[in-house]
Amino acid sequence: MNHHVDSSGIQISQGHTMTRGTDGSRDAYGLNRSGKQRVTITLPVALLERLRNAVYWSGQGSLARLISDALLDAVSELEEANGGRFPARLAPLKRGRPKLPHHNHLP
């Protein structure tokens, strides 16, 4: 399986474990025919527990659905503030964690 971590810390998994369309085809972004792609993210434990509790007690679908809906809302807000959808990326996102500026601690 092929993994990469983008600058937001989301690990994107591509490979044989992804669900494929019945004909096995994927587009240029690795999306299967249903338009979904598997991603692995690291979340704070407290947030993950809140999400699991919300799914359990609300009976409103799955954890994946709750997260997908929340991300759709978040990106829609960003796009609204931007005045519309963002243009397509000119290059892939940088892999790994963002580098924080190094601060010199002088006395």
Asked whether residue 80 is domain-assigned, the answer is yes
> Can you give the pLDDT at residue 76?
97
Residue 34 falls inside a structural domain: yes
Give tens-digit pLDDT for 80-105.
999 999 999 999 988 777 777 766 66
Question: Residue 103 falls within a domain, yes or no?
Answer: no
In a domain, 22, yes or no: yes
Tell me how many domains the chain contains: 2
Q: What is the pLDDT of residues 10-41, one digit of tens each?
A: 444 444 333 444 455 555 545 455 788 998 88
67 closest CA partner among 90, 94, 36? 36
Query: Is 55 a domain residue?
Result: yes
Q: Are residues 37 and 51 in the same domain?
A: no
Q: Is residue 91 part of a domain?
A: no
DSSP for 20-78, written as a single string = --TT----TT---TTS---EE----HHHHHHHHHHHHHH--S-HHHHHHHHHHHHHHHH
Residue 3 inside a domain? The answer is yes
Residues 48 and 62 placed together within one structural domain of the fold: yes
Determine the Cα–Cα distance for residues 86 and 13; give it in Å rounded to an integer.
24
Question: What is the separation of C-alpha 72 from the centre of its chain, rounded to a whole number of angstroms?
Answer: 10
Cβ neighbours, 10 Å, residue 8 = 9
Range of the domain at 23: 1-42
Look at residues 15, 64, 12, 40 and name the one whose alpha carbon lies nearest to residue 24. 15
